[in-house]
Structure 1
Amino acid sequence: MPEAFASGGPMLLAGTANLPLAEEIAQVVKVPLGAVTIQRFSDGEIFVRIDENVRGRDIFIIQSTTAPADSIMEMLLLIDAVKRASAARVTAVMPYFGYARQDRKDQPRVAIGAKLVANMLVSAGADRVLSVDFHQHQIQGFFDVPVDHLYAAPVFTRYFREKQLTNLVVVSPDVGSAKMARGFAKRLDATMGIIDKRRPAANVAEVMNVIGEVEGKDCLLSDDMIDTAGTMAEAARALKERGANDVYACATHALLSGPAVERLANAPFKEIVVTNTVPVPQEKRFPGLTVLSVGELVGQAIRFTHINESVSSLFE
């Protein structure tokens, strides 16, 4: 039996939502993925079985909870299976935490989906949660267990520093992303701007104004996710109309739903940079799209969690 699998050592398991990232994380941690059987009955019901002994082990289950909800169900069943098999501790590693946009009751008679998912994870038996760039920071408070909230910012800033862009403006595509943009601007020695937009309907964005000086400067739009890309595409056009030079974009979670690929490909971007928290299939890739990996970041966080070291030291 390998030393890494000694009693009480870390063990990595993965659902089917993002196996390439899980394998990359396993290489960083230097622990192979544990054997898991995940099957579906003819009616679509999910069956999960852990094919190795997990008694007394420190378990890390890697699964981005992308749509459809099967990914969440897989995670819940995996947690339940290892808890019933007497695992010592279970950490839900969720590079992308789905339903995060449903984090408040902003209309009458709507669900708070993010809190519901948090409750289900804890009820299933998760002892800790590790995730990357929640849609809103307060989601950490939805859990009754410790949460390690990682930021993809070091991955992006390293990439853009190597480009040695000068006279750069980091632009937040809306007021809600201003804190993230401010962090990028500080790390890249850039100034900051904000897009003033309104949403007449879900997944529909309309730019009203650009706050900040962008004329004659390179601009970097930063956000936590790109879904249908309406916000990003309209923001890029607004910046170009106001005299910006090259327009770049970065976003942690590349959901790329519906018309997103077409919108981004036709918008005046120099480059769009995302991470692999969500798998980006070949049919959604296009010239100008760059996918960076968070495997090293998440892998190091898992190692630090296992040996009870500070995860926040990764960002100092």
Structure 2
Amino acid sequence: MTESAAAARRPNRSGPPIDVDIYSGSATPELAQAVASCLGRPLGRRELHRFADGECHVQIQESVRGRDIYIVQSTCYPVNEHLMELLVMIDAFRRASAARVTAIIPYYGYARQEKKTTGREPITAKLVANLLSTAGADRVVSVDLHSPAIQGFFDIGMDHLTAIPLLGEYLRQHMDLSDAVVVTPDTGRVKVADVYANMLNIPLVVMHKRRGGNHAQDVEVRAIVGEVANKRPIIVDDIISTGGTIVTCTQALLEAGAKPDITVVATHAVLTPPAEERLCMPEITRVVTTDTIPLGNKTLGGKVVVISVASLLAETIERLHEGRSISALFRDWRESYPV
């Protein structure tokens, strides 16, 4: 059974609702509604449909002249349709004379194409940043980018949030951590895994993987740095896509003597086929993720736990509108769990 937990602190507001307008694309309507509810605002009315050839059309159904607009839209599957939809909505608001348009993109698609690994490749994460700016966005907000360096791709304001405090707090409250270890399946994610290890006060294990000829799917674990025998691993990552890396790392951990009680934690559950089938293996007993991407009917045999980022996004919107610090949202957490 899927558990939904609004783990972030909701804005503690005693006055009237803040004067902003929240709109949603078709990618994450439930999350957008939850954000609007946190702020005591209704979702803005818009009409969105597609022509017979697939072209996207948007009409804003209320006046937005001089308004502070926030569009909640993850660029998840189908990525290109949802990205184009977001760009069209931004353009519609800009042409309707909105004062400011902020794109709230909980899951930023194309983030895994943030650098050239071979010759003659694009850097598509930068291209998407350019498209958002050209469409007319004044600011972009996202959660747990695949690479923090993507912030530098924007020539407009960009705020990078993290769901690690929400996910880590769930683990602290609902797991016995006495014999647990944090495992990173990628040496490039060591810094993030170290944050989890400090937060949970448990050891860190690093796995060195290597991809084969098929860059997207073939993964081989070359080494495990750290003690996993008779331990319960908590594998942490930012994205679960096909589940290939998770399953390969799980098998390597079991061969190294880890207990068959493995927890997987990731902010973004992309879950493209055959991820759901792979993650249903009995040794993986829990999958903890967020609602940056709708899971739909993917229950993973009842082992998935969904932590909502709605109140985190809502408080970010309130702070942006009032011109207050965003980094202050995480200041206490960073002081408690420094890396």
TM-score (norm. length: structure 2): 0.89
Q: 1:203: Cα distance to partner?
A: 2.2
**Is contact 1:275–1:294 with CA below 8 Å preserved after alignment?**
yes
Query: 1:34 matched to which residue of 2?
Result: 44
Q: Alignment partner of 1:214: what SS?
A: coil
Matches of 1:131 and 1:293, distance apart in 2: 14
Matches of 2:298 and 2:171, distance apart in 1: 26
Matches of 1:72 and 1:280, distance apart in 2: 18
Question: Once the two structures are superposed, what CA deviation does each residue of 1:251-310 show, in whole Å capped at 9, x if it has no partner?
Answer: 011011111011110262121111110010114542312122111111111111111111
| Letter aligned with residue 222 of structure 1 | V
1:250 maps to 2:265: yes
**Is contact 2:247–2:278 with CA below 8 Å preserved after alignment?**
yes
Query: 2:232 matched to which residue of 1?
Result: 218
Matches of 1:41 and 1:205, distance apart in 2: 41
| Letter aligned with residue 65 of structure 2 | R
**Is contact 1:265–1:287 with CA below 8 Å preserved after alignment?**
no
Query: 1:310 matched to which residue of 2?
Result: 325
**Is contact 2:177–2:202 with CA below 8 Å preserved after alignment?**
no
Matches of 1:78 and 1:117, distance apart in 2: 15
Q: Alignment partner of 1:206: what SS?
A: strand
1:171 maps to 2:171: no
Matches of 1:304 and 1:267, distance apart in 2: 43
**Is contact 1:237–1:268 with CA below 8 Å preserved after alignment?**
no
Q: Alignment partner of 1:286: what SS?
A: helix
Q: 1:4: Cα distance to partner?
A: 4.4
Matches of 2:21 and 2:241, distance apart in 1: 33
| Letter aligned with residue 295 of structure 1 | A
**Is contact 1:304–1:310 with CA below 8 Å preserved after alignment?**
yes
1:70 maps to 2:81: yes
Provide runs of 4+ in structure 1 moved above 3 Å.
Answer: none
Matches of 1:188 and 1:313, distance apart in 2: 22
| Letter aligned with residue 38 of structure 1 | L
Matches of 1:154 and 1:164, distance apart in 2: 18
Select which of 46, 57, 63 maps to 2:67: 57
Query: 2:274 matched to which residue of 1?
Result: 259
Matches of 1:123 and 1:217, distance apart in 2: 50
| Letter aligned with residue 316 of structure 2 | A
Matches of 2:110 and 2:53, distance apart in 1: 25
Consecutive unaligned residues in structure 1, runs of 5 or more: none
**Shift in CA distance, 267/197, structure 1 to aligned 2, threshold 3 Å:** farther
| Letter aligned with residue 294 of structure 1 | V
Matches of 1:52 and 1:267, distance apart in 2: 51
Query: 1:188 matched to which residue of 2?
Result: 200
Query: 2:252 matched to which residue of 1?
Result: 238
Matches of 1:231 and 1:267, distance apart in 2: 16
Matches of 1:67 and 1:120, distance apart in 2: 18
**Shift in CA distance, 267/210, structure 1 to aligned 2, threshold 3 Å:** farther
1:104 maps to 2:115: yes
Q: Alignment partner of 1:270: what SS?
A: strand
1:121 maps to 2:132: yes
Q: Alignment partner of 1:135: what SS?
A: coil
Q: 1:215: Cα distance to partner?
A: 1.4
Q: Please report the RMSD computed on the Cα atoms of aligned residues, expressed in angstroms.
A: 1.3
**Is contact 1:236–1:267 with CA below 8 Å preserved after alignment?**
no
Shifted more, 206-215 versus 92-101: the winner is 206-215
Shifted more, 114-123 versus 164-173: the winner is 164-173
**Is contact 1:256–1:284 with CA below 8 Å preserved after alignment?**
no
Question: Once the two structures are superposed, what CA deviation does each residue of 1:83-130 show, in whole Å capped at 9, x if it has no partner?
Answer: 111111111100000000111111111111101100000000111110
Matches of 2:281 and 2:267, distance apart in 1: 21
Pick 1 or 2: higher relative contact order, CA cutoff 8 A, min separation 6: 2
Percent same amino acid among aligned pairs?
A: 45
**Is contact 1:14–1:33 with CA below 8 Å preserved after alignment?**
yes
